[in-house]
Amino acid sequence: MIGNPPYVRQEQLKDKDFFKDHFEVYDSVADLYVYFYEVSHCLLRRFGRFGMVTSNKFMRAAYGKNLREFLSRVAYVREILDFGDLPVFLEVSAYPCIVLTIKGDEERGPIRYLRVPSLDFDSLERLVEEQGGELPSSVIEDADWRLVNPEEFRILEKMEQIGVPLKVWLGDTKINYGIKTGLNEAFFIDEATRARLIAEDPKSAEIIKPLVVGEDIKRYEIEFRNRYLIFTRRGIDIDRYPAIKGHLEQFRERLEPRPPNWDEEKQGKWPGRKPGAYAWYEIQDTIDYYADFENPKILYQDIAERGTFAYDTQGLFANNTVYLIGTSNPFLLGLLNGKLVEFWFRRTGAEYRGGYLRFFSQYMERIPICRIAFVTPQEERARLVEEGKHLYREALEKTKQANTTQALFSDLLAFVEERLKKIHQPDPELVRKHNADPLNKDWQISERQPWEQSDVVHDILAFLAEEMIRMNREKQKEMKAFLSWLEAELNIQPDKKGRIGIEALTGKTKLNNYLGDYQKGEPELPFGEFWEILRKNKSRIGRPLSHEFMAQLQEAYEWSLTKLRPIKERLRLTDALIDQIVYRLYGLTEEEIRIVEGG
């Protein structure tokens, strides 16, 4: 049985009740190809062979769970070729794979697996022979398939043995997504609109919340861009806020929820929002967890090139391109922002064309978080943490004396490795507390045997994550100060969309990021290029761009960079140090570290 099922997304499937009644692989959001797998294997005789080209999404997505379980039960999956986001079919982003099986539940052999690196090959068969690896059949024995090359598989196994899933680690804390309003144009406002609404009615301030969207969330930092949300949640008395009501009235037709009896085939497309038990002036979602936005939390982008986890203490609200975790734990922040978690996520989560990752909760919840034994005597723990901080600060003073992060922080990394050896005497009372924690029921410690001091490493990692937050704020403060001075000097006129300041200029991205991103290896913007961007915008600038002003600006620009360069370098070094400590927490060998760094 061979084939290439038609590419039909689940939104186009009209009679889903039919699939629900007739297919055990059914899922309400499964695309059509999923059902071809079941039909094919039902038609095959015993030991019959199957091969199809389909989307690879079923191997990780929640909608593929039933199909994964079905294949694990009825067939020997003997070969999988995953093309990832390679453009095999130019007209569509299909994320294709080839799956070969033999029907039957007899003893299974290893699985031949290859993540095809590129389309530059003469013979696919020879490519598989030369680069494909064999995985044990256990990698697909349940609904969670882990399809990577053997070397990477061992790293994932090690992480899962040492850690617990994030969902378990968080306990009662949930991962939630940001707010879906149904019409952002009505509920998202700028600084000027906020000021006007509050001037008209001071009570408006009660339900206007600071807002961030996905692009505002960076690693260890949040760039608040003076966006605000009119937060009219379910049950609000809108008449208490006349200015807000007046603002929303202009969007009323587009805000009305579609009535249950509206027939779009006969009456045409409904001009408002989707059906729901909400009033025209209320945001679309119930947001029962809205209080989490007011509290300290970790925010991260829905789609990003790598994990972008940041800590918020300002009560920021977020739209639905952002997720939030209601915890203030900087240790977790350091882990999530590290290369090792990115490595894990790229091999178990959802990857999109261009190398982008989709941080769905179903994948996030499975991230293995290293278990920590908080059993070091408290005074000793505090003393050792201070010693680790001293080694860090001491190393930063010697940045010109070492070529690599490991060489620069060699003393601190040796200190960390010493802490992770099981040669230290734990506090018996803390051991009893550890053993009584339900999270540790399968990880019991003897009161009499030596143990590791992973809690010391935990505290050092938390400190370093806090340093990343502090240094990013320091960087952001200096850059904002310089750019605010520049805006005042230039007297920039608003553009046609009403954007003001640097946001109204062509080339604003380069101006706003003049320091360059150390994570991408970007250099600072040369002053000549900075000046040229301003010259191209001279029609919007309300002052002459004279030689005298150019000299004044260059002096201010160089002074700002003088303050920013050391911060940028410390950020780069500390970020790399966090990775090295995380590798040691998870017990990676030097070879495994090279695989992660190279991946």
**pLDDT band per the 50, 70, 90 thresholds, residue 171:** very high
Q: Check whether 401 has a pLDDT greater than 90.
A: no
Mean pLDDT of 568-587: 97
How do beta strands 96-103 and 49-55 pair?
Answer: antiparallel
The residues, ordered by sequence, that sit 6+ positions from 484 with a Cβ below 8 Å of its Cβ are none
More confident of the two residues 439 and 142: 439
Enumerate the CATH 3.40.50.150 domain ranges in the chain, comma separated: 2-147
What pLDDT does residue 405 have?
85
Tell me the C-alpha distance between 43 and 281, whole Å.
Answer: 54
**pLDDT band per the 50, 70, 90 thresholds, residue 362:** confident
CATH, domain range 2-147? 3.40.50.150
Q: Check whether 141 has a pLDDT greater than 80.
A: no
Q: Could you tell me the pTM of the whole model?
A: 0.87
**pLDDT band per the 50, 70, 90 thresholds, residue 564:** very high
**pLDDT band per the 50, 70, 90 thresholds, residue 228:** very high
Q: Check whether 500 has a pLDDT greater than 90.
A: no
**pLDDT band per the 50, 70, 90 thresholds, residue 455:** very high
**pLDDT band per the 50, 70, 90 thresholds, residue 599:** low
For 408-449, write each residue's pLDDT tens digit. Answer: 999 999 999 999 999 999 999 999 999 999 989 999 999 989
Please give the mean pLDDT across all residues of the chain. Answer: 93
- DSSP structure string for 72-115: HHHEEEEEEEE-TT--SSTTS---EEEEEEEE--S---PEEEEE
The residues, ordered by sequence, that sit 6+ positions from 176 with a Cβ below 8 Å of its Cβ are 289, 292, 323, 324, 326
Three-state secondary structure along 211-244? Answer: EECHHHEECCEECCCCEEEECCCCCCCHHHCHHH
For 235-285, write each residue's pLDDT tens digit. Answer: 999 999 999 999 999 999 999 999 999 988 889 999 999 999 999 999 998
Q: Give the end-to-end CA distance of the chain in Å, rounded to a whole number.
A: 36
